[in-house]
Chains A and B, each alone.
Chain A
Amino acid sequence: MTSLEKDPAGGTTTATRPILEARNVSLSFGSVRALRDVDVTVAAGEITALVGDNGAGKSTLVRCFSGVHKPQAGEILLDGEPVSFSTPEAARAAGIETVHQNLALVEDLTVWQNLFLNRELTRFGMLDRKRMRTEAQKMVAELAVNVPEVTARVRRLSGGQRQAVSICRAAGFSSRLVIMDEPTAALGVQETARVEQLILKLRDEGHAVLLISHNFDQVMRLSQQVWVMRAGRCVAGRRTDATTGQEIVGLITGAIPG
């Protein structure tokens, strides 16, 4: 099904133990078979890329990981243990944070409110606004991004600043796996470079990263492992250093069957 046997370089076996694994995951929306028997692994300490054409099922797959969708068949393993997230809250509690494709920020709330959304700190049942502001400042400063004042409303931020806030939130709260769905799709050149630095920083700090991207250069630059999806199937997996951008393009379009 995947290229496990077909790849002589042993490309699919990831170098370190998998933190997250999808086995035979399938999901349909009515007659649309968004995912068919998908097998994917994400290794600890690595950046794993997920590529594929629009509609290939990438977002749907990560939504299964982040508790938005529930697979209709197959299983998801976290550290080798089968898990079933019925809500995004459950996935977050297990250490899986997601930066969704449509930036999941509330524009009318401030940066610090967004960073702590549904993770609010309280004292005697009341919000500890002061502590959240200070902590938010720290979260932002630690990632060394020039994000604005944490008291600014998200509505006032640029696309890159918003993405930085989303990533900060995902990196915080001792998450183990950070999933990013096309984090640089809407960004300019400089903003993209900044976000890429952030992604590398996350990995260096020990987070596993699952990155969906349409930018092949980016995938080749950042990732250690690439999974290719086509029409709801995971058609191939390669170690990044054992493949080329050309091969990946061929696998995505189907020119190379995979």
Chain B
Amino acid sequence: MSTAATGTPAGTTALSKGSTPEPGDAPGRGRNPVVARLTDVGFWADWAALVGLVALVVVFTVLDPSFLSSGNVTGMLSASAALVILAVAQTFVVATAGIDLSIASVTTLGIVVLGQLYVADQPLWVCFVGAVLASLLAGLVNGLLVAKAKITDFVVTLGMLSAASGLALVLSDGQPVTVTEGFFFDISLDGPVEMVSWIVVIAVVVAVLAHVVLYHTRFGTHVLATGGSPEAATATGISTARVKVAVYAIAGLLAGIAAIIIVARLGSTPPAANTSYLLNSVAAVVLGGVSLFGGRASILGPVFGALLLTVLLNGLTTLGVSQYYQPLSVGVVVVAAAFLMRFQK
């Protein structure tokens, strides 16, 4: 943990030391810095998701050159959009040392509300606002129960997982709605540039905004402080309860946006929660080097994590590997990543 504190015998030199460690220091200081970095396992842990992503792309391309065809890249990017947004959502919660197990169910709730408003002949914008509001509300309830009622995040969001999927089934009567609106095809198939659809643009915008919020606003600092040391945060006057309510609400809001994207891709509103979104969002966060104990987070890491998982599943499919092996491969990759994180600086 605090290597500097415990490593110095009774603090004999620590304060008087002129030179002090800098954030980017690798253990092998003094050697060639590039070599030192590359031989430092901590460096690989920090960039696990990006390194893994590049490695997978190379391997799959070697095995099947059509992997990088424009059609397949377009498909993969579109397929990753919802997961990227959910990974960003999960990141905010995990940064406060919480977890949102309800994220996939809350997404499904948004999907179903969208579908029900759509069959009720509501204008498209009402469908969107309804979906986002429903998910936001579920997130808000999570946050209030965790922060104000002080029930463990695990229990609250597990309860919401069940409640939101149940509500989705009730509202939809278990039936999907087919959405034939041209707008949905447009945003999932067209885009500003080759290979990039509008839903990918939405995901990028969400990620950029999330990065700005986390690193360039007071709120972002308070999120990290709440996760890093709730006592310290409280002592400086930060309301950790308010921060927690906010992160669960943000997770709900983003789940609502993910719901719109999923409907756009599928052209229908599946009423049953897709639990792989839950597992993969947590997996992307772990792959992205975000500490599950809170206090350390990035947006770029989980985004790469989400891309890695999408590439992994797509690559295995292209290679004709049975669907049954896919969850197995995700599990192996995530546990391997979690193991690597132990060496993180």
B-contacting residues of A (Cβ < 8 Å)? 66-68, 87-90, 92, 98, 100, 102-110, 113-114, 117-120, 122, 125-127, 129, 145-149, 151-153, 155-162, 164, 187-191, 194
Contacts and interface: CB of A to CB of B under 8 A. Distances in A.
B221 interface: yes
A68 B12 contact: no
Given A107-B2, A120-B218, A161 B233 contact: no
A110 B216 contact: no
Majority DSSP secondary structure for residues of A touching B = loop
Contact of B5 (A87, A108, A117, A157): A157
A107 B230 CA distance: 11
Nearest to B21: A156
A191 B11 contact: yes
Contact of A161 (B15, B18, B224): B15
B20 A152 contact: yes
B225 A109 contact: yes
Nearest to B238: A118
B296 interface: yes
A161 B236 contact: no
Contact of A89 (B11, B217, B232, B237): B237
27 contacts: A68-B234, A103-B232, A104-B232, A104-B235, A106-B225, A106-B228, A107-B228, A107-B229, A108-B224, A108-B291, A108-B296, A117-B225, A118-B218, A118-B225, A125-B217, A126-B217, A127-B220, A127-B221, A152-B21, A155-B2, A155-B4, A156-B20, A156-B21, A157-B4, A158-B15, A189-B10, A194-B15
B14 A160 contact: yes
A26 to B, nearest CB: 23
B22 interface: yes
B15 A149 contact: no
Looking at A106, A157, A159, which has the most chain B CB atoms within 10 Å of its CB? A106
B21 to A, nearest CB: 5
Nearest to A99: B235
B344 to A, nearest CB: 11
Contacts of A110: 23
B14 A161 contact: yes
Interface in B255-307: 291, 295-296
Q: 7 tightest A-B contacts by CB?
A: A89-B237, A158-B14, A148-B20, A188-B11, A188-B10, A104-B235, A108-B295
Contacts of A161: 4, 14-15, 20
Interface residues of B, number: 44
A125 B216 CA distance: 9
Given A156-B2, A191-B15, 8 more contacts: A109-B295, A110-B23, A127-B221, A155-B1, A157-B2, A158-B11, A160-B14, A194-B15
A164 B15 contact: yes
A86 to B, nearest CB: 11
Nearest to B295: A108
A122 B218 contact: yes
A126 B216 contact: yes
A108 B237 contact: no
B18 A146 contact: yes
A106 B232 contact: yes
A150 to B, nearest CB: 10
Interface string B50-65: 0000000000000000
Contacts of B15: 145-146, 158, 160-161, 164, 190-191, 194
Contacts of A194: 15-16
Interface in B203-255: 212, 215-218, 220-222, 224-225, 228-229, 231-239
Looking at A126, A145, A161, which has the most chain B CB atoms within 10 Å of its CB? A161
Contacts of A107: 1-2, 228-229, 295
A67 B216 CA distance: 28
Given A106-B224, A190-B16, A117 B23 contact: no
Nearest to B19: A148
Contact of A113 (B14, B21, B22, B221): B221
A98 B234 CA distance: 12
Contacts of B220: 127
A193 to B, nearest CB: 9
Given A68-B235, A104-B231, A106-B225, A146 B16 contact: yes
A105 B232 contact: yes
Contacts of B236: 88-89, 92, 104, 117-119
B32 interface: no
Interface string B155-188: 0000000000000000000000000000000000
B323 interface: no
Contacts of A159: 5, 11, 14
A152 B21 CA distance: 7
B109 to A, nearest CB: 32
Nearest to A191: B11
